[in-house]
C-alpha cells in the first residue's frame, strides 16, 4: 500500500543522491521510479561517502559498537567515487524503513526486495547480493569496468560509457525490445553503446563517439535544458 506520491518518495533520497556521478544519480532515480510503479517504495540510505565516512563505517563492529557492514576502508569502496548506492524498503507511512528481504507489502507473492533487485539489474546495476564473499544485500553499483585501484589513481568512466547509460535510461521501459547495435562511421566501427529499437525502427547512437568519428566536436550535455551541442565540419 502506497500513501506517498512518487515525488515525495524521490525527495526523501535526494540528499543521498546529490554527490553521485550524474549518470549514476539518474540511474538511482530511475530505480526509485520503476520500483514505485511496481508498488514498492525504496529509500536510498547511502550514496557518495568520503574516505573519513567510510572509515567510520568500517570501524563499526570492530573498534565501535554495532554489526560489521563493510570490509572496505576509506578509498576502497565504490561509494567513495560516487558510483554506488545502498537502499532500504520505505514503508507505507513514509517514516520507517525495513531491510527484511522477505517482506511483501504489495501482496504480489514476490518479496519486495527481490522486485527491487530485478529492476536494478534491468537498469544495469551490479548487486552486492551476487558476491561470493561478504554479500552486501542493500548495495548496488556501476563500476564501468574500472577497478578500485584504477579509481584511486584517478581513472573515471569515459563520456561514451556515461552517454551509453544515459541513452539506456532514456529509453528504458521498452527495454525488452532493445537490442545491442553496431555503429559504423565511414567504414570504421565506433565505440559501443548503440542500441536498436525494432518496434520503433530507431537506432540510438553514442553522440560523442559518432561525432568524433566524423571529425566534429561535442560541446557537452546540459542537463537543465537537455541539450547536446554538436559541431561537424562542412566539406
pLDDT in tens, 155-206: 999 998 999 999 899 888 655 566 778 888 888 887 667 777 776 677 877 8
In this structure, are 204 and 143 located in the same domain?
A: no
In this structure, are 105 and 193 located in the same domain?
A: no
Take residue 121 and report the three cell numbers written for it.
539489474
In a domain, residue 1? The reply is: no
Domain extent, residue 96, equals 6-152
Take residue 6 and report the three cell numbers written for it.
512518487
Burial of 64 (0-12, 13-18, 19+ CB in 10 A): exposed
In this structure, are 57 and 145 located in the same domain?
A: yes
CATH of the domain at 74: 3.30.1380.10
Model pLDDT, residue 223: 59
Q: Out of 152, 179, 196, pick the residue that ends a domain.
A: 152
Model pLDDT, residue 184: 87
Model pLDDT, residue 183: 84
Model pLDDT, residue 215: 86
Model pLDDT, residue 191: 67
In a domain, residue 112? The reply is: yes
In this structure, are 57 and 90 located in the same domain?
A: yes
Model pLDDT, residue 151: 98
Domain count, the chain: 2
Q: Out of 120, 152, 184, pick the residue that ends a domain.
A: 152
The torsion of the CA quartet 140, 142, 148, 152, rounded to 10 degrees, works out to -120
In this structure, are 58 and 124 located in the same domain?
A: yes
Model pLDDT, residue 177: 60
Q: Out of 132, 152, 172, pick the residue that ends a domain.
A: 152
CA angle centred on 173, ends 158 and 92, rounded to 5°:
105
Percent of the chain with pLDDT strictly greater than 70: 91
Q: pLDDT below 70 — which residues of the chain?
A: 1-2, 173-178, 191-192, 199-200, 221-224, 226
Model pLDDT, residue 150: 98
In this structure, are 86 and 173 located in the same domain?
A: no
In this structure, are 74 and 129 located in the same domain?
A: yes
Q: What sign for the dihedral angle of Cα 40, 104, 44, 155?
A: negative
In a domain, residue 65? The reply is: yes
In this structure, are 82 and 23 located in the same domain?
A: yes
In this structure, are 90 and 198 located in the same domain?
A: no
In a domain, residue 41? The reply is: yes
Amino acid at each position: 500500500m502506497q500513501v506517498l506520491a512518487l515525488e515525495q518518495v524521490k525527495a526523501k533520497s535526494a540528499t543521498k543522491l546529490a554527490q553521485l556521478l550524474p549518470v549514476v544519480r539518474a540511474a538511482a532515480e530511475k530505480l526509485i521510479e520503476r520500483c514505485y510503479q511496481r508498488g514498492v517504495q525504496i529509500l536510498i540510505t547511502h550514496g557518495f561517502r568520503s574516505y573519513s565516512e567510510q572509515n567510520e563505517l568500517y570501524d563499526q563492529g570492530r573498534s565501535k559498537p554495532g554489526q560489521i557492514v563493510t570490509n572496505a576502508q576509506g578509498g576502497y569502496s565504490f561509494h567513495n567515487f560516487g558510483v554506488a548506492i545502498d537502499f532500504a524498503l520505505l514503508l507505507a507511512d513514509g517514516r520507517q524503513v525495513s531491510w527484511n528481504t522477505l517482506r511483501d507489502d504489495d501482496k504480489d507473492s514476490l518479496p519486495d526486495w527481490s522486485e527491487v533487485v530485478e529492476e536494478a539489474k534491468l537498469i544495469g546495476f551490479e548487486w552486492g547480493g551476487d558476491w561470493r564473499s561478504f554479500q552486501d544485500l542493500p548495495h548496488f553499483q556501476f563500476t564501468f569496468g574500472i577497478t578500485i585501484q584504477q579509481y584511486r589513481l584517478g581513472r573515471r568512466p569515459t563520456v561514451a560509457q556515461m552517454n551509453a547509460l544515459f541513452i539506456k535510461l532514456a529509453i528504458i521501459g521498452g527495454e525488452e525490445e532493445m537490442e545491442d547495435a553496431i555503429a559504423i562511421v565511414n567504414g570504421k566501427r565506433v565505440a559501443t553503446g548503440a542500441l536498436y529499437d525494432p518496434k520503433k525502427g530507431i537506432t540510438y547512437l553514442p553522440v560523442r563517439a559518432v561525432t568524433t568519428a566524423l571529425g566534429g566536436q561535442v560541446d557537452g550535455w546540459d542537463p537543465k535544458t537537455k541539450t547536446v551541442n554538436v559541431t561537424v565540419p562542412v566539406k
